[in-house]
Amino acid sequence: MTKNAQLATELATDEFSLIAGVQAPEGQGRVAVDAATREPIGRVPQHTVADLEAAIERATAAQPAWEALGHGERSRLLHAAADAIEANSEPLARLLSREQGKPLNGPNARFEVGACATWLRSAADTVLEAETVVDDASGHATLHYRAIGLVGAIGPWNWPLMITIWQIAPSLRMGNSVIVKPSGNTALSVLTMLSILNEVLPADVLIGICGERGVSSTLAAHPAVGKVMFTGSTPTGRKIVESSASNLARLTLELGGNDAGIVLPSADPAAIAEGLFWGAFINTGQTCAALKRLYVHDSLYDAVVDALADVTARMPMGNGLDEQNVLGPLQNKDQFDIVARLVEDARAGGARIVTGGAPASELGELFYPVTLVADVKDGAAIVDEEQFGPTLPIIRYSDLDEAVRNANRLDVGLGASVWGDRDEALAVAGRLQAGTVWINGHGGLHPQIPFGGVKSSGYGLEFGVEGLKHVSVPQVISG
C-alpha cells in the first residue's frame, strides 16, 4: 500500500460519517478531490436557482422566531454550536486537509477548525449595547442595532471554514438567518461544518447551497436578501456590487490583497525571519492578507534573504495528512498555473531565484515549493500581481520615502507590515494605505479587533463590536 493510500485509510469512518448526510447521491453532483493526491473524496451537490429560491423562502420564514429568541438565547446556542465543532474537530480537520490541501499541523487545518470555535464564542460573548447619543435639555435619543433579516454569505476556498464562520457567527448573533454559498472547490468541507452547526441551531436559520454559476449572482440580487458578505477576488467583488444594486443590499467585501512589508534598517534579520516566513507562507501563501511584497533596506537585504532561505529549508512540504508537514499543495490547477507563470516571468526578467523555482512534481500534481525571488523591481508581474501562493518577491530599497510610495502604489490595501524598532515602525505605519498595519508581524487576527480593507481590497468591517454593527441595521429612538 502506498503512503498516500495509507493516509487515506487512516480517515476511517468518522470523516465519512460526517459527509454522508451532505454529499450528493451516488452518480450525482460534482466529485470533490483530494488536493494532494487528486483522488475522489466525495460528491458535492449541485443546487439550482430553484433550490436557492426554496432555501430563501425557508430561511426568511425562520428568521423572525430566531430574532425573537433574544441575544441571550442566541448566544447560548452559538456556544453550543462551538461545542459541536470541537466535538467533531479531528474528522473535520482531516476532511478540510484533504479537500483544501492544507496540512493538519502548523497554522493550518487543526488551527482553522479551532478558530471556528473561537470566533463563534467571541461573537456570542460580544456585547453591543444601545448608545445614548443625546440626553440633555434638548431631548433623549438612543441608537439601537436590529437584525437585518436574511444575510447571504459567499465564501472562498482558501480558509473555507474559518471565513464562513466569520460571516455567519455575527449574523446569527444579531438575529439574522443566513444562506451560505461556499466555493465549489471546498464545498464539501463547508457543507459538513454547516451540518454540524445545524445539529444545535433551529431549523432553517442556517442553510448551505452550492451549484450552478447563477446561484451566487441570484443570491446577491435577491430582494429578500438584506446583506451580502463576500470574501474573494476583486473582480468577483465588483460583480457582487453590480448584482446587489437592484435590491440595495448592504455589503461587506473582503477582496484581493497584495500586502507590502517594509523592513527598516533597525530590524534584526535573524529575529524576524520566521515571522516574515509565516506572514508570507501561511496556508502555503493562499491567504488574502498574506505578505506578498517585501521591501528590505539595502543595509540588511542580503542578510534578510539568507535568513528567510534558512527558515524555508526547515519547513517540510507534502501531503497534509502526514503529521510532519506544514506546507501543502496549491488547492487548484488555476492557482498553480498563476504561481508558475509569475515565477517564470520573474526568472525571464533577470530576477534571482533563491529557493524553489520549479514545480515539486515528485510530491504531486499541484505542489510548488516555497520560492523566494530576489533582485526584482517594482513593475515586475510577480510584484504587481497577487501571487496567492508560495512565492515572495523581495525588493531592495535605500530611501524609505520611496519604499512607502511603492508600498502604496497599487490599488489594493488589505494589510501591510513594518519590521524594526517599534517607535520607528509606528511612524511608518501611519503612512501606509491599508486596512490593517502590523508591527513586527503580519496577518495575525483577533476576534475582537476589526478587520477590513481599503481601495480595491473592499469595504466593511468584521470582528468584535464593529463586526456586529455591520450585520445590523441602526435604529434611532428619539423622544
Q: How far is CA 77 from the centre of its chain?
A: 24
Contacts by 356-363, CB closer than 8 A, 24 or more apart: 356/312, 356/390, 356/391, 360/317, 363/36, 363/317, 363/318, 363/319, 363/329
**Predicted local distance difference test score (pLDDT) of residue 8:** 44
Dihedral of CA atoms 303, 306, 307, 308 in degrees, nearest 10, equals 120
Residue 10 has pLDDT above 50, yes or no: no
Residue 144 has pLDDT above 80, yes or no: yes
- Using CA atoms, how far apart are residues 118 and 116, in angstroms rounded to an integer? 5
Closest CA to 439 of 289, 261, 256: 261
**Predicted local distance difference test score (pLDDT) of residue 17:** 78
CA distances, 415 to each of 16, 139, 217, 290 (Å): 38, 42, 28, 8
Residue ranges matching CATH 3.40.309.10 in the chain: 259-446
Task: Give pLDDT tens digits for 237-272.
Answer: 999 999 999 899 999 999 999 999 999 999 999 999
Neighbours of 440 (CB within 10 A): 17
Task: Give pLDDT tens digits for 204-224.
Answer: 999 999 987 789 889 999 999
Q: Is 99 a catalytic residue?
A: no
Residue ranges matching CATH 3.40.605.10 in the chain: 3-255+457-478
From the list 99, 112, 254, 466, the catalytic residue is 254
From the list 99, 112, 116, 288, the catalytic residue is 288
CATH class of domain segment(s) 259-446: alpha beta
Contact 170, 195 (CB under 8 A): no
Q: Please state the pTM of the whole predicted model.
A: 0.95
Percent of the chain with pLDDT strictly greater than 70:
97
Percent of the chain with pLDDT strictly greater than 90:
93
Going by CATH, does the domain composed of 3-255+457-478 fall within 3.40.50.300? Answer: no
